[in-house]
Amino acid sequence: MTDYPVIVGAGQVTNRARDVREAREPLDLMAEAARLAGDDAGVPGLLARADSVRVVSVLSWPSQDPPADLAARAGAPSGERVYTTIGGNTPQWLVNETAEAIVRGDVRIALLAGGEAMHSLRLARKAGQQPDWPPRGRPKANAGDTRFGVNELEHLHGASQAITVYPLFENALRAHYGRSLDEHQRALGELCGRFAAVAAQHPNAWFQRARSAQELATASSENRMVSFPYPKHMNAIMDVDQSAALVMTSASTARELGVPEDRWVYLHGCGDATEHWYVTERVNYYSSPAIRVAGRRALSMAGVGIEEIAAFDLYSCFPSAVQLSRDALGIAADDPRPLTVTGGLPYFGGPGNNYTMHGIATMAGRLRAQPDELGLVSGLGWWATKHAIGIYGVRRPTKEWSRTDPQVDQAEVDAMPHPGVVAAAEGPATVETYTVSYDREGAPQLGIVIGRLDDGRRFIANVPAEDRALLEAMTAREFVGARGAVRHDAATGINRFSA
């Protein structure tokens, strides 16, 4: 019978430094999270036996060789060293890949970790100091998808940051749901309020404060509009010091090592898929075919339906990410089951690429306390581009563990048609989705419009700050489906939309 992959240890660290004297580098945070994960397994010296150390890409201050440096801290002198590409999907993807390697017999004990120290770095810079840390390295990834998430056309038109891209999905979702602007904003406030309430109770959350739906949904001096329709408190917070780590092995090795069975958390099922890579090439902006196929694969592998999952941690950098996942997985908008166990990236904290490892670690704790439940964790990278899903439980799976090659499901997504994209757009047009970004004083700065020409081809265009009346109209009424015209400025390469 095939062996099963299990998580046997999980650790989380949050460093709420008050000044630069308490600043800590990511490697230090990861080493502590790893120690906690080893302690959590209940077997002394477990980390020193790890034959694979796998680290999620570090953004704030990577060391020279993060997996090798972490292995040295953990006392694991030799073995495989893995460092991922960037992407919020990578923690769950790494669990999926590690599980398969364990079942194949290529890995016996794996330490997975990631962490960021954006908060400490900001404190040091604010004090006019360089942090007293080892030299910053430039490590190269040897695992994961290396493609860059934005093409030149998207970058030219300002669709190259999360704060301007995820609102494009949100406005498309609102129109798809058939809600008015006010109705949808209230719904977003209620969704985010439930997440903030969970973070308020989590010992590792960055913001341990519940907020009302109205407070979260309403732009104010404390909650400025960033990109329509998201005020500040609906955006992921990366200015955190957080780390999480997991220890994985097989059920047979865990038994041999003497890890108590009540510490074992099985990966029952998993799935991975990517959308059409660039945002301008998506099938549409209100659904996620990749999450749908990845979720279907994970559920099928686990031998369960979505109704049998008791708890979720859906990736939540912005509300649109939650809704895309919820809808693709077949979870009703009024389903009472919790969609997060941490509180999500705007409230728990968004430590770079590693948030989902906190979701997995927290889910493991919940399932140990509720051994009859199953939990689902999802991660995504770039602009809702790369997706990874895992289904967890402490009860032994009822099916043999066999991961289907992700390329099988990827072929289904790749075959889905999407509109052709025209770089130099001219003519009458219809808005497919849009957003407006603001400066810190609350003035609209730039409109981003994705739309269709009358021949069906897709374009991306801008509405400049000087067209203030149009920018204000775009946030006062539903603009998806609005008619207008687009013209191309050959001197700048920018398409400009007018209505």
Predicted confidence (pLDDT) at residue 447 exceeds the cutoff of 70:
yes
Per the CB < 8 A criterion, the answer to whether 200 and 344 are in contact is no
Does residue 38 sit in helix, strand or coil?
Answer: helix
pLDDT of residue 74: 94
Residue corresponding to tokens 């056309």: 153
Tell me: pLDDT of 88 over 90: yes
pLDDT above 80 (res 225) = yes
Fold for domain 427-498? OB fold (Dihydrolipoamide Acetyltransferase, E2P) (2.40.50)
Over residues 435-442, mean pLDDT? 95
Three-class SS of residue 9?
Answer: strand
Buried b (16+ CB within 10 A) or exposed e, 203-217: ebbbbbebbebebbb
Residue at 109: amino acid letter: I
Q: What is the pLDDT of residue 132?
A: 86
- In whole angstroms, what is the distance from residue 374 CA to residue 304 CA? 9
Say if residues 313 and 76 touch (Cβ distance below 8 Å): no
pLDDT at 361 over 80: yes
pLDDT of residue 467: 96
pLDDT of residue 1: 63
Query: Residue 156 is encoded by which pair of tokens?
Result: 């030219």
Q: Give the pLDDT confidence score for residue 129 in this predicted structure.
A: 87
Whole-angstrom distance, CA of residue 266 vs CA of residue 5: 6
Higher-pLDDT residue of 307 and 398 is 307
Domain ranges of the chain: 5-147+238-414, 427-498
Torsion sign over Cα 426, 430, 435, 436: positive
440 φψ region: left (φ > 0), alpha (ψ -120 to 50), beta (else): alpha
Per-residue pLDDT at 131:
86
How large is the average pLDDT for residues 112-127? 95
- pLDDT value at 382 more than 90: yes
Strand, helix or coil for residue 307 = helix
Q: CA triplet 173, 176, 181: central angle to 5 degrees?
A: 70
Residue 120: name the closest of 60, 67, 56 by CA.
60
**pTM across the whole model:** 0.97
Instruction: Provide the terminal-to-terminal Cα distance of the chain, rounded to the nearest Å.
Output: 65
The DSSP result for 73-108, as a single string, is HHT--SSEEEEB-S-TTHHHHHHHHHHHHHHHTS-S
Nearest-5° angle of CA 449, CA 453, CA 454? Answer: 140
- Average pLDDT of span 193-206: 98
Q: Each residue of 135-191: pLDDT tens digit?
A: 999 999 999 999 999 999 999 999 999 999 999 999 999 999 999 999 999 999 999
pLDDT tens readout for residues 362-374:
999 999 999 999 9
pLDDT above 70 for 25 = yes
pLDDT above 90 coverage of the chain, percent: 96
Alpha helix (H) ranges present in 162-311?
Answer: 162-177, 181-199, 213-217, 251-257, 289-302
Fold (CATH) for 5-147+238-414 = Peroxisomal Thiolase; Chain A, domain 1 (3.40.47)
CA distance to 79, 206, 355, per residue, from 368 (Å): 30, 24, 21
Average of per-residue pLDDT values in the chain: 97
Helix axes 162-177, 319-329, angle to 10 degrees: 50
DSSP letters for 340-367 = -SS--TTTT---TT-HHHHHHHHHHHHH
DSSP 48: G
Rounded CA separation 77/68 (Å): 9
pLDDT surpassing 90 at residue 458: yes
pLDDT score recorded for residue 72: 96
Residue 33 CA to residue 37 CA, distance in Å, equals 6
For the segment 318-337, the average pLDDT, to the nearest whole number, is: 97
Q: Can 5-147+238-414 and 427-498 be said to share one CATH topology? A: no
Buried b (16+ CB within 10 A) or exposed e, 416-446: eeebebbeebeeebebbbbbbbbeeeeebeb
Confidence label for 2 from pLDDT (cuts 50, 70 and 90):
confident
pLDDT at position 130: 84
pLDDT in tens, 229-271: 999 999 999 999 999 999 999 999 999 999 999 999 999 999 9
Alpha carbons within 13 angstroms on the beta-carbon side of residue 485 total 4
